């Protein structure tokens, strides 16, 4: 039970980290942290390929360490759902943050919705794993049918509580994004 709760809490904290990157008013390094680029034959987070900085309130910079990865980092930023248009100058990539018009705000709400749905799916997967484990334990005779039923209800209650927290976090983020 403790492991299931820990994994569900992990999904919720991952969602909050992703939401932190969806800034409405000013640039934040957290905006680029969830992005990954193809480098060295693997997918790597941008933070492992260069320094992400915020020199101005509406500008992010990525100082790529290896010249061979500049194109990959630029492509990762351009192809993300964030609607950013990076400009490359040698190994420095400038990422201006556009002003938020109504259309851009709606795009950010959709991105936040996708993040929330991914978190819900993660919580449901943890629930499924827990239920499978309980069935296995009952088949092996480790727990009784009554214990299985009681623990199943606990897992379901935990799942419902975490999904509710995810929905509340999404609603708060949506209000923050829409607010002018």
The structure tokens listed for 156 are 């379901």
In contact, 60 and 35? CB cutoff 8 Å: no
Q: Are strands 50-56 and 36-39 parallel, antiparallel or unpaired?
A: unpaired
In contact, 59 and 95? CB cutoff 8 Å: yes
Residue 94 in 3-state DSSP?
strand
pLDDT digits 0-9 by tens, 70-97: 888 888 888 887 777 888 888 888 888 8
**In this prediction, what percent of the chain has a pLDDT beyond 70?**
96
Residues of the chain with confidence (pLDDT) below 70: 23-26, 180
Domains of the chain with bracketed CATH? 2-16+101-178 (1.10.132.20), 26-96 (3.30.1360.40)
Q: How far is CA 35 from CA 30, 32, 70, 142, in A?
A: 10, 6, 14, 44
Cα separation, 44 vs 34, in Å, equals 10
Confidence at residue 69, expressed as pLDDT on a 0 to 100 scale: 84
The structure tokens listed for 170 are 């999404």
In contact, 49 and 33? CB cutoff 8 Å: no
Cα separation, 11 vs 68, in Å, equals 34
The packing angle between helices 2-21 and 145-178, to 10°, is 10
């Amino acid at each position: 039970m403790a492991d299931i709760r820990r994994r569900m809490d992990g999904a919720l904290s991952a969602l909050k980290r992703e939401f932190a990157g969806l800034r409405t008013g000013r640039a934040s390094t957290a905006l680029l942290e969830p992005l990954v680029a193809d480098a060295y034959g693997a997918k790597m987070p941008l933070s492992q390929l260069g320094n992400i900085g915020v020199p101005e309130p509406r500008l992010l910079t990525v100082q790529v360490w290896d010249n061979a990865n500049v194109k990959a980092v630029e492509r990762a930023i351009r192809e993300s759902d964030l609607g950013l248009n990076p400009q490359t100058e040698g190994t420095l990539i400038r990422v201006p943050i556009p002003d938020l018009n109504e259309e851009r705000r709606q795009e950010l709400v959709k991105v936040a919705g996708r993040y929330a749905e991914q978190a819900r799916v993660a919580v449901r997967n943890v629930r499924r794993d827990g239920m499978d484990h309980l069935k296995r334990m009952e088949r092996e005779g480790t727990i009784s049918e009554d214990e299985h039923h009681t623990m199943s209800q606990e897992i379901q209650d935990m799942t419902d509580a975490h999904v509710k927290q995810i929905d509340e976090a999404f609603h708060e983020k949506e209000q923050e994004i829409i607010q002018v």
